[in-house]
Amino acid sequence: MNIPFNRTFQSGSELGYIQDVLTRNHVSGDGHYTKLVNRFMEEKFAVSKALLTTSCTHALELAALLINLQPGDEVILPSYTFVSTVNAIMLRGSIPIFADIDPKTLNIDPQSIKAKITPRTKAIFVVHYAGVGCEMDAIMAMSLKHNLYVVEDAAQGVNAKYNGKYLGSIGHIGCYSFHATKNYSCGEGGAITINFANQELAERAEIVREKGTNRSKFLRGQVDKYTWVDVGSSFLPSDVLAAMLYAQLECLDEINKLRRQVYERYYTKLAHFADRGVITLPYIPADRESNYHMFYVLLPNETMRDNMLAELKDKGINATFHYVPLHTAPMGLKLGWQSGDLPATEELSGRLLRLPMYAGLTMPEQDYVIDNFTHILTELISKTSGLVGD
């Protein structure tokens, strides 16, 4: 068997919608399907403005432009995240201040944020890891107290909730990913959401996304010609990609249900290891609804994690590690960060392993993964004394 780590869901409507884009003869950005996708996100996720972008990376860069990050501004973010979160800050000449994570959810720890706020702090970029929301009440309270922007990197958090609110709708700005590795996908894509009905930010988002022009107003007939009004870039994808994405968003609940089944099956079948304290399984706090983006396992140590990955690979199972902490990556070290600065991030990232996870992973395929994982872990434990409590 060869089990990929991820497989893109196909609803069956993709090709028909793409054909429709060709028939409509509007293959550039902001066509019929982009409008449908934007409206879908605004209604479903209860955000005042949603705009499809070329990626979550670009949505984050757009967010950094919108909040006017300047050289010397400090931005607090987790070190345990993808490079795009920090690059958006660095591209503006601002200073990333890495915070540690909560070992229970692997999300940014509000206590760590609190300890790092200074008069130079301009924003907090939170990352909803694995589709489970951060402690947004505590984070928004700090934002209010210190007048800080909150940008939600909800690349992995589309359609997940915190306290009944969709991720990406809680901070000032939200950023989504529709990359091939995500739950709902058009290969490469993303979106920016503007919250609190902030008209000024929403208008600027349209402009910055369209090369710094007021072309969107022109297309709506609000100005008689369009021109350069701000600094911007090209952050809008072709309507062909929007068509593929719309076909997936129409199946949002079905995809979520399929992923939930896979997640719960892994959880149930591996719980006996967790009960004996051998591994740690993901945790979803009661006030959060996951989108089941990921199923990860924390092994007892990095060596066992690496051995497990290698042995699963030998069996044709594409499990994988995740983020190398940004503060101990070569670029983080160049900025003056050191190993030991963020203990939870360093320890947990070395122990984490992600199992194959996608809507449509069949039961025999999942059994093959679970059986091999179980067998390999049992062998690894028997070779290692003193790790297991029983």
Judged by the rule CB under 6 A, the positions of this chain that interact with ligand PLP are 55-57, 81-82, 84-85, 127, 153, 155-156, 177, 179, 181, 190
Percent helix, strand, coil in the chain (nearest 5)?
A: 45, 15, 40
Least distance from ligand PLP to the Cβ atom of residue 160, Å? 13
Q: Is 86 helix (H, G, I), strand (E, B) or coil?
A: helix
Q: Select 112 or 185, whichever has its Cβ closest to ligand PLP.
A: 185
Q: Select 98 or 273, whichever has its Cβ closest to ligand PLP.
A: 98
Q: Select 72 or 187, whichever has its Cβ closest to ligand PLP.
A: 187
Least distance from ligand PLP to the Cβ atom of residue 152, Å? 10
Best CA proximity match to 177, nearest among 28, 41, 363, 272? 41
Which residues in the chain belong to E strands, given as ranges?
49-53, 74-78, 95-99, 121-127, 149-154, 161-162, 165-166, 173-177, 190-194, 288-289, 296-298, 352-354
Least distance from ligand PLP to the Cβ atom of residue 129, Å? 7
Least distance from ligand PLP to the Cβ atom of residue 164, Å? 23
Least distance from ligand PLP to the Cβ atom of residue 82, Å? 4
Alpha-carbon span 162 to 47, nearest angstrom: 14
Alpha-carbon span 95 to 90, nearest angstrom: 7
Alpha-carbon span 362 to 17, nearest angstrom: 27
Cα–Cα distances (Å) from 198 to 67, 68, 155, 218, in that order, read 12, 15, 22, 21
Least distance from ligand PLP to the Cβ atom of residue 153, Å? 5
Residues 6+ apart with CB under 8 A from 141: none
Residues 6+ apart with CB under 8 A from 227: 213, 214
Least distance from ligand PLP to the Cβ atom of residue 313, Å? 21
Distance of CA 100 to the CA centre of its chain: 17
Q: Select 273 or 292, whichever has its Cβ closest to ligand PLP.
A: 292
Q: Select 307 or 345, whichever has its Cβ closest to ligand PLP.
A: 345
Q: Select 130 or 298, whichever has its Cβ closest to ligand PLP.
A: 130
Alpha-carbon span 172 to 154, nearest angstrom: 13
Q: Is 176 helix (H, G, I), strand (E, B) or coil?
A: strand
Least distance from ligand PLP to the Cβ atom of residue 188, Å? 7
Q: Select 57 or 280, whichever has its Cβ closest to ligand PLP.
A: 57
Tokens 């396992």, located at residue: 297
Q: Select 48 or 181, whichever has its Cβ closest to ligand PLP.
A: 181
